[in-house]
Amino acid sequence: MIEVELKYRLDEPESLLASLIARGAQPGAPTVERDLYFNHPARDFRQTDEALRLRWDGSQATLTYKGQLLDRVSKSREELELDLSPETGLETARRILGLLGFVESGDVEKQRTKFPMLDRGLPVLVTIDEVTGLGLFVELEASAERDSYEAARDRLLELAGELGLTQGERRSYLQLLVEQGAV
């Protein structure tokens, strides 16, 4: 499955919130997510544009692999996720990755509020992230098969325009933090 994603810096969250609610999106409860990234022992994920991440949101742990970006417009890429045991999964996965030679490469913490919605028949997840050390961002996300991801991407681009989002950002939160010298 392809994760079709667009990310934007967010200066005026009130305007966006009003637009989302007018479109029928209902905010979920804010959660704090901690993402721990790993680098491959034989290839540099920063060079190959891949990512391997362990995420903890306070109740659930997830291991995620993100493949290379598919285009120069969005953050669309193959994404594979594996839910881990809430009790022991995070630390067990962290230990396994370390034993296999993966190296921890960065830590990102954010407060995230999710706004699931349906936009012209396309299930869209809008998230507002307050990233420690970076500020506010909004992500628009949908899932698609590889042969149809461009249509979903184009719909998300239209939605971004309708929501007044203009400050596109293709770099990951980790990359932005590294560039600031925070990681």
Catalytic residue numbers, as ranges:
37
Residue among 111, 118, 119 at smallest CA distance from 29 = 111
Q: What's the CA dihedral at 157, 168, 39, 179 to 10 degrees? A: 180
